[in-house]
Structure 1
Amino acid sequence: MTDPASGRGISRREFAKAAVAIGGASAFAACTERERAPDIPTGPDDVSGYPERQHAWNEVTATDEHGNDVPPRHHVLVFLNVPGDGTPDDEGREQVEAALRNLERTYRRDAEGLLFTVGYSPAYFDRFDAALPESVGLQEPRALTELEDPELDRQDVVVHLASDYAQVVIGAEEALVGNRDELNGVEITDDVSGVLEKADRRTGFIGDGLPAENQDVEGIPDSEPVPEDAPLYMGFESGFEKNQASEDRVSIAEGPFAGGTTQQLSKIRLNLQQWYEQDSREHRVASMFCPAHAEEDRVEGTGENLGNDSGVGDCAEDVMDDASESGVVGHAQKVARARDDDDSPIMLRRDFDSTDGGAAGLHFLSLQRSIADFVETREAMTGNDVAENTAVGTATNNGIKRYMTVTRRGNFLLPPRPHRSLPTPRPDA
């Protein structure tokens, strides 16, 4: 692969991914020159009509022919810290809010423009004497199985930037931290420098064809096996509309942070050598969905034929029987056991693949009303009850666990927009 600054030797989409991964002024300039982006409209000066929910993205993103929400293709996670041990003051809040408003004026709020959220960790709220209200289900991040040993993300703030165009997320990141004076024809008058310090950045992508164009990385066999039209490295569709919680279901229902949500971030390393080189297509379908899907050949290609429902709800009650009789239990089949009383999902996934560090990975980003909902879903996916009561092992043939290693995890509160800039634990006080 050539340097993105030169723009030679790689496809346009692969180039865009590489530019996002590198970031900075030179990547932005090269990406702007080469990426075929339309003239992206600026945002309004008056954003009073914007929804209070930061995570209300679905109304401004596309849907496919089956009604599934189509996520933006390019993503950057910017981690920031408040300097020192003190608490932010009103002047700092005003500066951060001005910087965020600047981004909203720079790009229209949609997938072709810019979508973003701002989240705060338990460590951030520990700076204050007051505690978060009980209506906020934020927990410290932790390992959730005996096989996990992730580094825990305790940075104060994370900003999630997303767009269909690489130049947008690169430019927005640069403007946010004070490295640009102008962007998309808009003067950048405010940034977070001096109030927040950049601590880390992570990048990724999702969308048909992007994983296949970016599979020359550690963790993927040299045979380049990722299907050309797959949206994720493991080769199957994800984010089926009926298998996702609604934005309303994941929103905090009461208290000063009503309309906000909690966000869980896990950085996962993928090792797909066996997945593609040794496992059969039938075994991959059984492991990702459920044995019945494999036996009845329900999944064509990447699974687009499934429409807006993976169909694993019908398999959820068969977890123990499948584990005993087939010796395999499906990932989605296990997850489908974590549902509300009305049989609706409790978690909204917005994850994306990554080549950070030159390795195939997944940034598993989920939204839920309380982190407890994520823990419940993760426990269902882990399937210790399956391992303890059947011949299926803790990892072997127990969904897709053997192909994934959680290396980092962090939990964050996404406040509603009126409290998104350096909030106190009790903004109603």
Structure 2
Amino acid sequence: MTDSRGIPRRSFLRSAVAIGGAAAFSACLGREEVDVPTGPDDLSSFPKRQHAWNDVLPTDDHGNVVAPRHRVLLYLNYTQRGQPTEKDRTTIETALEGVEHAYERSGNGLLLTMSYSPAYFDRFDGGLPESVDLQRPEALAPFENPELDTPDAVVHIASNHAQVVLGTEEALKGNQSTLNGVDQPDASLTDVFKVVDRRTGFVGDGLPAENADDAEGIPADKVPEDAPLFMGFKSGFKKNQASEDRVTIQSGPFTGGTTQHISKLRLNLNQWYNQDDRWQREAKMFCPYHAENDVIEGAGDNLGDSSKIDDCQPTDETAREMGVVGHSQKSARARDDDDSPLILRRDFDSTDGGTASLHFLALQRGITDFVDTREAMNGTDVTEQSAVGQRNNNGILQYIRTERRGNFLVPPRSLRALPPAQPTGDAQEVTHESS
């Protein structure tokens, strides 16, 4: 859909989210005709898990969760020295509840989490309990040298509607006295935090192709029109994702929480689209078996609820015989004793700074689970016994560069406002995904 100014509506909305601010929010209200229900007056029915999104997100015909299209990440530093005060905790919780009253909890409404870094917890004596595996971020491959993110907190805002993420952001910054017809409290995150970084993005069929013109590192005319991500293929298959149960902390004072890793990956897809043919792209993203047997149609919707990696040869055999291994093929090796994947991906593409990138956001019970998954993705063991290079023909490693890494704890909802490192409250064990 194009308006009278010749600007595709969805491109405009993506640009508005990237720009941010009150003017962008106002412009979205005028261009995005949606009616989002307000949230409830009583929030006590909300799940204990901040990350319990799947129960209010739609699924496709195969049962795969359909991710919210628009995203904002706000990186925050606590402005006070030492341990947080109860007054500041009340301010944060009041601000968060304000936007939850304004928008219903859903993909078309608002979904959000608030998480905290190891640096935040350094202010407390004794550190985090042993039940929380929250390592400091570090480089996770011999060929990467990322900047390490150490802000105190990150808020992840998600919705199918640009005006919802922008309105939420402006309200949390104290710039909106009324949101979706609901009066906002006299409390904001910026009463307590300073915003030190802002990252934005999008995911969903057609959005990458519509927005590729704005980004360096990608041939705009080559991105498939139906692709949900810049690299042209579907991801987030149900059977290739950990469940919300699998990524939830099961014991200790942070029961019901999870850990979160956020990487910023810069994409260079000129060779991917201009030199690699379809066979090579399928082989490197999935596995050579899929490319040889025409398993994938288009972006991969025909695959159903799985990338069907079990049909591929073992990774080491593929490397020796074909000289190339697939990204999904390698990643699938990182599983637990019950054959479950270790991480739940909620990543999204971006054109922040005018470059094509991916904000790789993963949830897992402990950061070690992400490290193990990344080690499998690196394929270092494969390179030692085949002609596969450290990056060349080694999945998609040659097309991405890790610019930033950060690790965070997403506490249960009851502890989301400036949590202590050793809570003594009544956080209860959560055992069901809908809890």
Q: One fold, TM greater than 0.5?
A: yes
User: For each residue in 1:300-322, what CA deviation from the matched residue of structure 2 results, as whole angstroms up to 9, or x when unmatched?
Assistant: 1110000001101333x611111
User: For each residue in 1:270-326, what CA deviation from the matched residue of structure 2 results, as whole angstroms up to 9, or x when unmatched?
Assistant: 0000000000100100000001000111001110000001101333x6111111111
TM-score of the two chains, using structure 1 as the length reference:
0.97
Distance 1:179 1:405 in 2: 36
Distance 2:53 2:145 in 1: 32
Counterparts of residues 4-403 of structure 1 (less than 5 Å)? 8-37=5-34, 39-189=35-185, 190-216=187-213, 217-222=215-220, 224-315=221-312, 318-403=314-399
Deviation at 1:370, TM superposition (A): 0.2
Are the counterparts in 2 of residues 73 and 164 from structure 1 also a CA contact under 8 Å? yes
- Which deviates more, 203-212 or 76-85? 76-85
Are the counterparts in 2 of residues 7 and 30 from structure 1 also a CA contact under 8 Å? no
Are the counterparts in 2 of residues 355 and 361 from structure 1 also a CA contact under 8 Å? yes
Q: Matched residue of 2:253: which SS? A: coil
5+ residue gaps, structure 2: 426-435
TM-score of the two chains, using structure 2 as the length reference:
0.95
Distance 1:62 1:184, change over 3 A: same
- The correspondence for 1:407, drawn from 384, 400, 403, is 403
Distance 2:335 2:377 in 1: 12
Distance 1:57 1:8 in 2: 36
In structure 2, give the amino acid aligned to 1:52.
Answer: K
% identical equivalent positions: 62
Distance 2:50 2:6 in 1: 39
Are the counterparts in 1 of residues 345 and 360 from structure 2 also a CA contact under 8 Å? yes
Distance 1:156 1:7, change over 3 A: farther
Deviation at 1:191, TM superposition (A): 1.2
Are the counterparts in 1 of residues 80 and 192 from structure 2 also a CA contact under 8 Å? no
Distance 1:148 1:84 in 2: 34
In structure 2, give the amino acid aligned to 1:221.
Answer: P
2:417 equivalent to 1:421: yes
Distance 2:196 2:392 in 1: 37
Are the counterparts in 2 of residues 7 and 34 from structure 1 also a CA contact under 8 Å? no
Deviation at 1:84, TM superposition (A): 4.1
- Which deviates more, 357-366 or 187-196? 187-196
Q: Matched residue of 2:189: which SS? A: coil
Distance 1:7 1:206, change over 3 A: farther
Distance 1:30 1:228, change over 3 A: same
In structure 2, give the amino acid aligned to 1:297.
Answer: D
Query: What is the root-mean-square deviation of aligned Cα atoms in Å?
Result: 1.3
Distance 1:67 1:7 in 2: 38
Distance 2:310 2:202 in 1: 28
User: For each residue in 1:233-268, what CA deviation from the matched residue of structure 2 results, as whole angstroms up to 9, or x when unmatched?
Assistant: 000000000000000000001001001000000001
Are the counterparts in 2 of residues 220 and 360 from structure 1 also a CA contact under 8 Å? yes
Q: Matched residue of 1:68: which SS? A: coil
Deviation at 1:428, TM superposition (A): 1.3
In structure 1, give the amino acid aligned to 2:348.
Answer: F
Deviation at 1:7, TM superposition (A): 8.3
Deviation at 1:30, TM superposition (A): 0.6
5+ residue gaps, structure 1: none
Q: Matched residue of 2:190: which SS? A: coil
Are the counterparts in 1 of residues 99 and 179 from structure 2 also a CA contact under 8 Å? no
In structure 2, give the amino acid aligned to 1:347.
Answer: I
In structure 1, give the amino acid aligned to 2:327.
Answer: H
Distance 1:17 1:160 in 2: 16
User: For each residue in 1:116-149, what CA deviation from the matched residue of structure 2 results, as whole angstroms up to 9, or x when unmatched?
Assistant: 0000000000011121011101010000111111
In structure 1, give the amino acid aligned to 2:381.
Answer: D
Q: Matched residue of 1:42: which SS? A: coil
Aligned residues: 422
Are the counterparts in 2 of residues 78 and 202 from structure 1 also a CA contact under 8 Å? yes
Distance 1:181 1:405 in 2: 41
Q: Matched residue of 2:24: which SS? A: helix
Q: Matched residue of 1:408: which SS? A: strand
Are the counterparts in 2 of residues 7 and 15 from structure 1 also a CA contact under 8 Å? no
User: For each residue in 1:362-391, what CA deviation from the matched residue of structure 2 results, as whole angstroms up to 9, or x when unmatched?
Assistant: 000000000000000000000000111111
